Amino acid sequence: MKKIISTDKAPGAIGPYSQAVEVNGMLFISGQVPIDPSAGKIVEGDITAQTEQVMKNIGAILEAAGYSFQDVVKSTCLLSDMSDFAAMNAVYGRYYQSEPPARAAFAVKGLPLNALIEIETIAVKR
């Protein structure tokens, strides 16, 4: 059965999509940009600050669904500039210190709200 996951501790969907969808023990989290949910806008700062906010948003959605970062099996990272990869990776790595998920990272022409990063995530109940 498909279950829609939503929390006010992460930015609300700004279009026809859900923050996350759970089905058959798998959680599919929509791409998260660095919006501070309390302010409703992109956090100020560089790729480090923006990646930290994205990871907080992902963590809030994981928690709302009863998952954790240890349940994440795949991430896709979209960067507006590939020269930000190392700094993004340093923040990202703090959340996956053991048994990190599979991952892809791409540079893209542009991201919503001119964000520097967007990350989508898939988690599986163990």
Tens of pLDDT along 103-124? 999 999 999 999 999 999 999 9
Q: Cα-atom radius of gyration of the chain, to the nearest Å?
A: 14
Q: Domain limits of the chain?
A: 3-124
- In CATH terms, the fold of domain 3-124 is 60s Ribosomal Protein L30; Chain: A; (3.30.1330)
| Segment 39-82, tens digit of pLDDT | 999 999 999 999 999 999 999 999 999 999 999 999 999 999 99
Confidence of residue 15 (pLDDT cuts 50, 70, 90): confident
Question: What span, in angstroms and rounded, lies between the C-alpha atoms of 34 and 10?
Answer: 10
Strands (E), the chain: 3-5, 20-23, 26-32, 35-36, 41-42, 72-79, 102-107, 117-124
Neighbour count for residue 24 (Cβ, 10 Å): 8
Question: For residue 53, what pLDDT is reported?
Answer: 98
